Amino acid sequence: MVSIEVKKVRNLNVGDGLLAVAVFQKERYPKEAAPFLKELKKEQFEGKLGQAYFTSTLGKRNFKRLFVFGLGPEKECELDYFRRAAGAAVRHAVANRIPSLSIAAGESRRFRKDDIVQALAEGLALSSYQFTKLKSKKEDSFEIRKTSIISTTGPFQKGLRAGTILSSAQNYVRELDENPGNIMTPARIAEEAKKLAKKNRLGIKVFDEKQLKKMKMNGILAVGGGSVNRPMMVVLEYNKGKKHPLYAVVGKGITFDSGGISLKPSKKMEEMKYDKTGALVALGVIRAVSEFALPIRLVAVLPLAENLPSAAAQRPGDIIKIRNGKTVEVLNTDAEGRLVLADALAYVSEMKPSVMIDVATLTGAVIIALGKEAVGLFSDDTELAEALEHAGRHTHERVWRMPLWKEYSELMKGTFADIKNISETREAGSITAAAFLKEFVGEKIRWAHLDIAGVMNVERPHPYYGSGATGTGVRLITEALRRMSEKG
């Protein structure tokens, strides 16, 4: 990963590579841009949001190239624009093969400087991430060696630290997520979880199939029944045995979702390697939370399975009994995420956490509803929902709340069993999925469900996610936990 430092400097005439400066529209430009002002004008650079200008300094400065990025009018500026500025600078440096990049932190009374530095650090780290591990020739890719966030007013280590912890955890999720189903099997994720547990001193339990049977986790077992890569469940715990309030994150971990006997169409089926994103996000969250040393207890629960058709696979019509005793008619084997989550939610509920958040690439329907811009949020607890909405505005992993009225639960009532795993209509598909999950949440437990199907990956150019897996949810949930832990 690219190294990022933050430095206090006397002026911006520093570095030996690219100097990037983000400016508001109509702002007076920094001194370093002075020799180029005429050209900036000629090029009609006004600092509109997303507008960029660059020039070689032709030996007139220490740095070799200047890159100016427009933030738009200051009063409309959002923190995320600094992530975008960093992303644009990284893209420029990579395209021009410049190995070192300095980015000026900029000044604004609207934001705390530590927050700006944090956003810049996140933008730098997230946009320089590439998945190259499985390519044997490395010459096509170019990596920036060193990036510095520079400021004339202070070093702002706190912002750098927060930005580094969060973006490293997120890139860790992206790296694991990018590995396809033949590599990142349930057993392999369990191995990765063990490595993390050792490094960050977390408690860990890995349940194999035999133990899951004893524990009556028939949802996980049924979904994983069709694959030679056998199902598992991983439970990690941070601050185990301490007195702090207990929080729980549960993540859907389908290492590949073919749909099972209710087979998916083959178009873009390869993207279903990302169906494990939720479980990986849970790993990323517990990693970040432990590195921040938040004063909470946290369990991360990862129900892991591969959903494949085979002679041993579950079939449409099968009836299974979930950990909490409720019976489910499996009318569609492609609605498998809710089955593994059902067991996991029931299991975690027994620990009586004060808050339980699940995160899952649960439905295509949430993409129809919200597109690729927002995470679907489902909760009966308005305070918890607002905490997540607030965190999402801060991290720009924006969430949008959907209703969870009891009428939706009616649609999930079973014919031959307590409930069915799909409703008869296609209406409100992401809500009926959430209504299904609700059946497995213990009474009086504050619970929220995040459907990240739309944001798990990017398909079009994004300001700071290059391509593929985004690891969305890590910063969102960690930020929400941080805020809740402060409130006590």
Smallest gap from residue 206 Cβ to ligand BES (A): 24
Asked if 306 touches Zn ion (CB under 5 A), the answer is: no
| Closest separation in Å from C-beta 54 to ligand BES | 37
Give the residue carrying structure tokens 């459907």.
451
Residue 17 contact among ligand BES, Zn ion, none, beta carbon within 5 to 8 Å by kind: none
**Residue count, binding to Zn ion (CB under 5 A):** 6
Under the criterion CB under 6 A, does residue 248 sit at the interface with ligand BES?
A: no
According to CB under 5 A, which residues from 331 to 350 bind Zn ion?
Answer: 334, 336-337
Element housing 81 (H / E): helix 80-95
Q: Are 122 and 38 in contact (CB under 8 A)?
A: no
Residue 437 tokens read as: 């999950």
> Which is closer to ligand BES, CB of 237 or CB of 275?
275
- Are 448 and 424 in contact by the 8 Å Cβ rule? The answer is no
Least distance between ligand BES and beta carbon 363 (Å): 4
**Residue 234 near residue 302 (C-beta atoms within 8 A):** yes
The residue whose two tokens read 């409720």 is 326
- The residue within the footprint of ligand BES, chosen from 32, 175, 257, 397 (CB under 6 A), is 257
Determine the 3-state secondary structure of 112 from DSSP: coil
209 binds ligand BES, rule: CB under 6 A: no
**Residue 361 touches ligand BES, criterion: CB under 6 A:** yes
Residue 365 binding result from ligand BES, Zn ion, none, given CB thresholds of 5 to 8 Å by partner type = ligand BES
- Here's the x/- map for ligand BES, 308-337, by CB under 6 A: it reads as ------------------------x-xxxx
Least spacing, CB of residue 334 vs ligand BES, in Å: 4
* Binds 127: which of ligand BES, Zn ion, none (CB < 5-8 Å by kind): none
Residue of 213, 208, 222, 304 whose CA lies nearest to 261: 222
CB of residue 451 to ligand BES, shortest distance in Å: 9
Report d(CA 19, CA 376) in Å as an integer: 38
Rg (CA), the chain: 24
- By DSSP bridging, strand 246-251 and strand 232-238 are unpaired
Q: For residue 418, how many C-alpha atoms fall within 13 Å in the half-sphere facing its CB?
A: 11
Residue 358 as a binder of ligand BES (CB under 6 A): the answer is no
Largest CA distance in the chain: 79
Among 422, 428, 437, 441, binds ligand BES (CB under 6 A): 422
Interaction partner, residue 411 (ligand BES, Zn ion, none; CB < 5-8 Å by kind)? none
Residue 365 found at the interface with ligand BES (CB under 6 A): yes
Look at residue 456 and give its three-state secondary structure.
Answer: coil
Tell me how far apart the alpha carbons of residues 328 and 475 are, in angstroms, rounded to a whole number: 34
Q: From the CB of 260, what's the least distance to Zn ion, in Å?
A: 8
Catalytic residues: 264, 338
55: left (phi over 0), alpha (psi -120 to 50) or beta: beta
The token pair that represents 72 in the structure block: 């738009």
Sites of contact with ligand BES (CB under 6 A): 257, 275, 332, 334-337, 361, 363-365, 422, 429, 453
Sites of contact with Zn ion (CB under 5 A): 254, 257, 275, 334, 336-337
